Structure 1
Amino acid sequence: MPPVRWQSARHVARHGQLRSTDDYLAPATANGTYSGGYLSHMFDSDNNLRVDSSVKFKSVNYGGFSMSALYGFSNQAGATNKSEARSVGARYKNGPVSVGAAYEQFNIPDANTDGAVSSTADALFVAGRQRIFGVGGTYAIGPLKVGLEWTRMVIDGVTSGPIVANYLRRDNYEINARYDIKPALFLAGGYTFTDGRQTTGSATTDPKWHQVNLMLYDALSKRTDVFLLGAFQKAAGDATFAYIYGNGSTSIQSPGSAKQAVARIGIRHKF
């Protein structure tokens, strides 16, 4: 039997470690592979958060199957349930097919500055408990690669963040595709539907969002590349504002546009 491999945090106060959702769900998304923040799911709350003060176990590949588990310490005497993080996930990869699943839980994120998920990390919501779980996968057919993912985020007792509520749920459904026109040039696009439910006091609302993305990338040389990226989002249901990667109102009660578009063009040269 191949040996397992342990990973412990180094310089965790500054860097932290990736969670199982980043290891096994992000590779099925546009944001987690080729695009960047503008193609994130609503509030980017199921992606790209590093856990400080943590230990991580990551297995080797067993016939296409691998898994990982992470625990982030609270570092608060007498309150080990504050700013604590737990994460576990697994993936099966064989040829053109890759399928992953993951679950994670944060207890009172941002409760202290030395915990696993604190103000020195990037806890978007301050709440009593935050849970994220989902499944995703990709399938490659020659130069075409298609990704599908579903994630659910559930937060109890949100006291600070883009939305304040007693209960907050977000279901994200994403489909994306990337086509390699040639080895250094690709065209990619995708669609994400976010279905929400939130309770504030005695009121319950069902906000929804639609987002369409498109990206063109060209590596001009080994050191220089260019890209063109666009995203359009529309609020629906009870949602009152669009919010592409933080480009919107800071509270659901604040006035804002129900439609939002972002475009970015860039060139990078590596020295």
Structure 2
Amino acid sequence: MKRMLIACAVTMPIATAAHAQSGVTLYGLIDEGFEAISNAPTTAGSPGARQYRLDATNGLNSSRWGLKGREDLGGGLTALFQLENGFELNNGRLGQGGAEFGRQAFVGIKSRPFGTLTLGRQYDSVVDYVGKLEFGDSNVGTAHGAHPVDIDNFNNSRRTNNAVKYTSNDYGGFTFGGVYSLGGVAGSVARNQIFSVGSGYHNGPLTAGVAYLQARNPATSLFGSNPSDTATANGLTGTPVVSGYASANAYHVIGAGVTYALGDAILGANWSNVRFAGIAALGNSSAIFNNVEASLQYHVTPKLLAGVAFDYLHGSHVSDTVGGANYSQFSTGVNYTLTLRTDLYAALDYQVANGRDSSGHGAVANIAGVSPSSNRYQAVGRIGLRHRF
């Protein structure tokens, strides 16, 4: 009996240590808000009117719940997985076009010396390394504060299916990685494939990132990556900002961003170049957009954060009658921390459009997460509550 007690005493810490390296975590976030929109389409298709609504998808974060787990395999290897569901709180519907785990769904292996390899539905490198530096992804900017219609995917409106992803370890604040999505089309390796690479650096007050994304046949592969998407109804065809370019055979994004903490202030800036190449409907022309953003966040008190940003998107002329629109957007917000898990916030976004859009008509304002305005102007105000669990 004494020998058995001694053996148990010796092995118990080992078992406990092994167990500490394995496990499954349930987590989630609920973000609900009341919104007032200055101009939105009516059901009869007449000129836009004011709209008031509850919305749980365009706040500081969209509502979600998920499971993530890991298991220590020994020898510096760890198996891991993550399943994350997005949902609409107000009606209980699945988010991301009806996908059960539309936000993320992957499994992989992490190696202590070499990094992490994962397989499944995942974020691209633009999201990983540059998107987090956008005002719309901060604790005062909502999804409406993303760049117009989230044209560069900085705000993670679109996921990459069938993706193989590598993420490096942290080397003195420097990280890098890449994503490759197999198109899965018989007889064509290139069709529907997606490729992205990026790197980031974080050291003290400085955070910076750069990334590149390329998607072949983007109307299907990237903008049409949700279950409910079709060639004529997806994130690319639903807005006049870019719907005229839905027949493009490739979509390219180059992005870079930086934030710098200076006392109680956080200064931010980012830039992206977006190109829709080989637009069949326009004689295989290309449409090019350049976007610049500058932002300032300030801790008024330890619990109160305020911020403001200006964003400018300029589109090139594709032909004499198509393209050449530009969109100026002002965003501001405040966030008050109630507890470590709960905060209250308010945000306001205002956009002005000029020129001709992708449809060849006079450009109309189209704030991300909102249906297009009937004129050049659009504003969205939101008061919300965010709770993490």
1:89 and 2:210 matched: no
Which residue, out of 142, 146, 154, partners 1:40? Answer: 146
Q: CA deviation at 1:178?
A: 1.1
Instruction: Tell me the amino acid that sits aligned with residue 208 of structure 1.
Output: N
Going from structure 1 to structure 2, the CA distance change for 1:7 and 1:183 (only over 3 Å counts) comes to farther
C-alpha distance in 2, partners of 1:64/1:116? 30
Q: Cα distance, 1:84 vs. partner? A: 0.9
Contact 1:4 1:58 in 2 (8 A): no
Show the counterpart of 1:140: 261
| 2:125 equivalent to 1:20 | yes
Residue 6 (structure 1) aligned to one of 103, 116, 125: 116
Q: Secondary structure at the match of 2:286?
A: strand
Alignment match, 2:367: 244
Q: Which has the higher helix share?
A: 2
TM-score by length of 1: 0.84
Matches of 1:39 and 1:59 in 2, distance apart? 30
Q: 2:333 aligns with which of 215, 221, 230?
A: 215
- Aligned residue in 1 for 2:299: 180
Q: Which moved more, 1:59-68 or 1:169-178?
A: 59-68
Q: What is the CA–CA distance in structure 1 between the aligned matches of 2:252 and 2:367, rounded to whole Å? A: 22
1:60 Cα deviation from its structure 2 partner = 1.1
**Is the contact between residue 83 and residue 118 of structure 1 (CA under 8 Å) also seen in structure 2?**
no
Larger gyration radius, structure 1 or structure 2? 2
Shift of 1:172: 0.7
After superposition, residues 87-166 of structure 1 pair within 5 angstroms as 87-111=196-220, 118-120=224-226, 124-125=235-236, 126=246, 127-158=248-279, 166=285
User: After TM superposition, where is structure 1 displaced by more than 3 Å over at least 4 residues in a row?
Assistant: 115-119, 157-160, 202-205, 268-271
Decide whether the 8 Å contact of 2:327 with 2:354 is kept in 1: yes
Aligned amino acid, residue 241 of structure 1: V
The answer to whether the 8 A contact 2:224-2:235 is kept is: no
1:31 aligns with 2:136: yes
- The change in CA–CA distance for 1:60 and 1:185 in structure 2 (over 3 A counts) is same
Deviation at 1:153, TM superposition (A): 0.6
In structure 2, the residue matched to 1:196 is 315
Q: Aligned partners of 1:173, 1:24: CA distance in 2, in Å?
A: 17
- The residue aligned with 1:252 is none
Counterparts of 1:198 and 1:153, CA distance in 2: 14
Higher strand share: 1
CA separation of 1:70/1:215 partners in 2, compared to 1, >3 Å: closer, same or farther? same
| Displacement after TM superposition at 1:265 (Å) | 0.7
- Partner residue of 1:228 out of 341, 346, 351: 346
Offset at residue 78 of structure 1 (A): 1.2
Offset from partner CA, 1:173-212 (integer Å, 9 cap, x none): 0001111122322001100011111425x54542111100
Residue 205 and residue 75 in structure 1: after superposition, are their counterparts in 2 closer, same or farther (change >3 A)?
A: closer
1:225–1:269: 8 Å Cα contact kept in structure 2?
Answer: yes
Assess, with a 3 A threshold, how the Cα gap between structure 1 residues 43 and 198 changes in structure 2: closer, same or farther.
farther
Structure 1 spans left out of the alignment, 5+ residues = 250-254
Match for 2:123: what amino acid? L
Note the alpha carbon deviations across 1:70-92, whole angstroms, 9 max, x for none.
10111121122222100001122
Question: Deviations along 1:39-58, whole A, 9 cap, x unmatched?
Answer: 11122121212111001111
Q: Secondary structure at the match of 2:135?
A: coil
